[in-house]
């Protein structure tokens, strides 16, 4: 029987098509196996494995004595993977009372499309324990924990503007946390985490361990910083002022021992602070220095030989005409005064007459040599250069105005550094804050090298000017800055604020900046400091009324502790009486070296305060943080006493805990 030719052709066609399809599939498989093998293997691994970044331990920040100013402690956050949550409504109902959140908002979050959500950044041990109990009952599928290191500032507002803060996502905000972030942060590690078909992690292998950040040691002194902040806040409250700033530094080394701005903020709760509160006025806010700048005018004139300290100058009974229609008044009608008296009594007319004797270029160059018109190099974010125009842009009013601290803008740190140059026999030491960096892994210490010193004026001029500035405190406008047992040199300043709404043309009659800058002991300076009070709202608003007393109280409290030798009492030295702040208690004791008695307690039980006596600051903060308690600290060293005492019920987060520290 002959075969049907049609069927034969169909069989052949089908065979050819089958061979073609088989060949194509084989070729495709071969191409995938040879050319795309690595790619698909990696995709498979990605489905079963996840590369995790291991954050490093952020380096600690210490003061010059090793006291912790910023440290990182272990903490846990509650997270959710919404795609794994089987019953969002029931899960939200269980979590809401634990997390103190709305069940409705939690349910909305759990029904979202995101694969990873942070439900609570700072979970307390109690909250974690309650969640883990429910997890054991398989009632919180898709809810988990993630470890992280929480940045803690144990002294809260102390040195807040210097330190800055670290956000919950690890990004720094302002201060040294930002400037030294690369060194403090450390190096991230990497790990591979395996997952099962339900996407649950079951194993983790470290590929590269995280490298901890460097510890940063500052020039700050915790005790001096506390006293400076306390006196600045006291002066601002008393003057009902808008804001203020203060700095203290060692004129012989340039080391900044304390730096403060007001208003201030708590870096532990940075999100609650306004931009105004986080503003570091010491380096960011430039102002017209007023009569404190007469120190620079005097230095230039003395150095150039244009005036002698005892030279008598007629002060025109309080008025000098600069140009037709433009004159400058004194705060009093002075007649004949020596140049020393002109500085002591802060005569504008006398200072202008001396300033007019100076060559424009020489005067400008001397001001620049003192560091005005450029940054100090203190390495804080946002530092301003101030404002100093070159002589080519001066008008007929410029030199007279600059002679008395107008038509020039400076920062408090610039002004202090310039006066510290006078205190240091004419040698300028650039201000600096960081002493060293310690490698968190190897322990190797890298010491900071401050800029080289430079001579600005001769030692003879500096010492002559010091004697003149002593008269400001002995018999002039700065008598309230006197310190019992010590000679003080300094200068008051009261400057009207420019009318910025009128493009800086003219001054506001009812708004001032009051300041005092000086150093002590004047013949062997141990400390130089400046207090700047912005817009005091009291009748006695001058620098001698609101800033000089703060300077005097500050120096009286810290000089003995810094090893400044008392000088013989002088009958012409005004005396002031220093009272302990009301309610200061153990804080004052820790600052003055008095012993705070240690109290011992019985055995510790669950739900009660532990006995922290004798523990280091780091240990105490770690324990309290793990209990969800925010500590407030007074003093430095180890824990001497606590409130609530050991054995008491644990306080709420709002109540917190207070620790008194000291040296045994």
Query: Mean pLDDT of successive 10-residue segments in the chain (664 residues)?
Result: 66 75 73 65 56 82 94 84 82 83 83 80 81 80 80 94 89 92 87 60 70 93 96 96 97 95 94 92 95 97 96 91 83 91 94 96 97 93 94 94 95 97 94 90 81 89 96 95 94 90 74 96 95 95 96 95 73 35 32 29 54 79 71 73 81 72 65
- Given this model, what pLDDT does residue 636 score? 67
- Given this model, what pLDDT does residue 582 score? 34
Task: Compute CA distances 339 → 346, 347, 469, 471, 645, whole Å.
Answer: 10, 9, 11, 11, 61
- Given this model, what pLDDT does residue 97 score? 85
Give the chain's domains with CATH numbers: 53-218 (3.90.1310.10), 222-562 (3.40.710.10), 586-662 (3.30.10.20)
How far does Cα 399 stand from its chain's mean position? 36
- Given this model, what pLDDT does residue 598 score? 28
Instruction: Supply φ then ψ for residue 395, to 5 degrees.
Output: -100, -175
DSSP class of 452: P
- Given this model, what pLDDT does residue 603 score? 32
- Given this model, what pLDDT does residue 134 score? 81
**Among 408, 405, 415, 410, which residue's Cα sits nearest to residue 328?**
405
Tokens (6 digits) for 305:
């030989």
Tokens (6 digits) for 563:
């090893």
Reduce the DSSP state of residue 508 to 3 states and report it: strand
Q: Is there a contact between 372 and 408 (Cβ–Cβ < 8 Å)? A: yes
Which residues have a Cβ under 8 Å from the Cβ of 332 and sit 6 or more positions away? 318, 345, 347
Q: What is the pTM of this model?
A: 0.78
> Virtual CA dihedral for 179, 184, 186, 188, nearest 10 degrees?
-60
- Given this model, what pLDDT does residue 572 score? 43
CA distance 57 to 377: 28
- Beta strands, E only, 527-574: 527-534
Q: Three-state SS across 618-633?
A: HHHHHHHHHCCCCEEE
- Given this model, what pLDDT does residue 638 score? 79
CA count, 13 A, side-chain hemisphere, 149: 20
Element (H, E) at 216: strand 215-218
């Amino acid at each position: 029987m002959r075969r049907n030719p049609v069927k034969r052709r169909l069989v052949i066609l089908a065979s050819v098509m089958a061979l073609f399809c088989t060949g194509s599939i084989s070729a495709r498989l071969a191409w995938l196996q040879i050319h795309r093998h690595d790619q698909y293997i990696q995709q498979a691994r990605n489905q079963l494995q996840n590369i995790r970044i291991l954050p490093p331990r952020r380096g600690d920040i210490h003061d010059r004595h090793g006291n912790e100013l910023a440290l990182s402690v272990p903490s846990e956050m509650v997270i959710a993977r919404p795609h794994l949550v089987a019953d969002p409504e029931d899960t939200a109902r269980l979590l809401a009372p634990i997390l103190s959140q709305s069940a409705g908002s939690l349910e909305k979050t759990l029904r979202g499309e995101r694969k990873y959500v942070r439900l609570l950044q700072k979970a307390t041990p109690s909250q974690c324990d309650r969640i883990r109990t429910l997890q054991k009952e398989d009632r919180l599928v898709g809810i988990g924990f993630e470890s992280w290191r929480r940045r803690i500032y144990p002294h809260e507002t102390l040195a807040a503007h210097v330190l800055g803060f670290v956000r919950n996502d690890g990004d720094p905000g302002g201060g040294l946390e930002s400037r030294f972030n690369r060194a403090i942060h450390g190096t991230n590690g990497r790990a591979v985490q395996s997952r099962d078909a339900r996407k649950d992690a079951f194993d983790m292998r470290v590929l590269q361990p995280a490298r901890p950040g460097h510890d940063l040691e500052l020039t700050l002194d915790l005790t001096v910083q506390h006293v400076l902040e306390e006196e600045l806040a006291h002066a601002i409250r008393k003057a009902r002022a808008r804001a203020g700033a203060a700095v203290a530094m060692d004129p012989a080394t340039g080391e900044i021992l304390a730096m403060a701005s007001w208003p201030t903020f708590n870096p532990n709760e940075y999100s609650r602070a306004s931009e105004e509160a986080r503003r570091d006025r010491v380096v960011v806010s430039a102002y017209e220095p007023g009569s404190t700048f007469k120190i620079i005018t005097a230095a230039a004139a003395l150095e150039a030989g244009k005036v002698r300290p005892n030279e008598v100058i007629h002060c025109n009974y309080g008025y000098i005409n600069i140009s037709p229609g433009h004159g400058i008044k004194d705060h009093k009608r002075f007649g004949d005064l020596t140049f020393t008296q002109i500085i002591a009594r802060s005569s504008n007319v006398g200072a202008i007459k001396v300033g007019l004797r100076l060559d424009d270029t020489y005067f400008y160059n001397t001001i620049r040599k003192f560091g005005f018109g450029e940054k100090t190099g203190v390495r804080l974010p946002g530092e301003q250069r101030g404002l100093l125009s070159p002589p080519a842009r001066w008008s007929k009013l410029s030199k007279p105005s600059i002679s008395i601290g107008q038509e020039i803008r400076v920062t408090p740190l610039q002004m202090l550094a310039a006066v510290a140059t006078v205190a240091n026999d004419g040698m300028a030491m650039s201000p600096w804050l960081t002493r060293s960096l310690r490698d968190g892994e190897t322990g190797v210490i890298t010491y900071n090298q401050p800029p080289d010193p430079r001579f600005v004026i001769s030692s003879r001029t500096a010492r002559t000017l010091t004697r003149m500035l002593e008269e400001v405190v002995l018999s002039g406008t700065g008598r309230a800055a006197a310190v019992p047992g010590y000679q003080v040199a300094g200068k008051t300043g009261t400057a009207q604020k420019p009318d910025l709404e009128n493009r800086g043309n003219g001054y506001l009659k009812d708004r001032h900046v009051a300041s005092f800058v000086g150093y002590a002991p004047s013949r062997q300076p141990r400390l130089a400091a400046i207090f700047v009070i912005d817009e005091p709202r009291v009748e006695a608003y001058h620098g001698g009324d609101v800033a000089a007393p703060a300077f005097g109280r500050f120096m009286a409290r810290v000089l003995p502790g810094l090893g400044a030798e008392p000088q013989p009492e002088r009958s012409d030295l005004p005396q002031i009486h220093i009272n302990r702040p009301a309610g200061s208690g153990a804080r004052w004791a820790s600052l003055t070296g008095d012993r705070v008695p240690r109290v011992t307690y019985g055995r510790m039980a669950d739900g009660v305060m532990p006995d922290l006596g004798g523990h280091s600051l780091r240990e105490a903060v770690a324990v309290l943080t793990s209990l969800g308690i925010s500590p407030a600290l007074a003093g430095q060293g180890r824990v001497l006493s606590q409130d609530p005492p050991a054995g008491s019920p644990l306080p709420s987060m709002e109540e917190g805990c207070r620790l008194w520290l000291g040296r045994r």
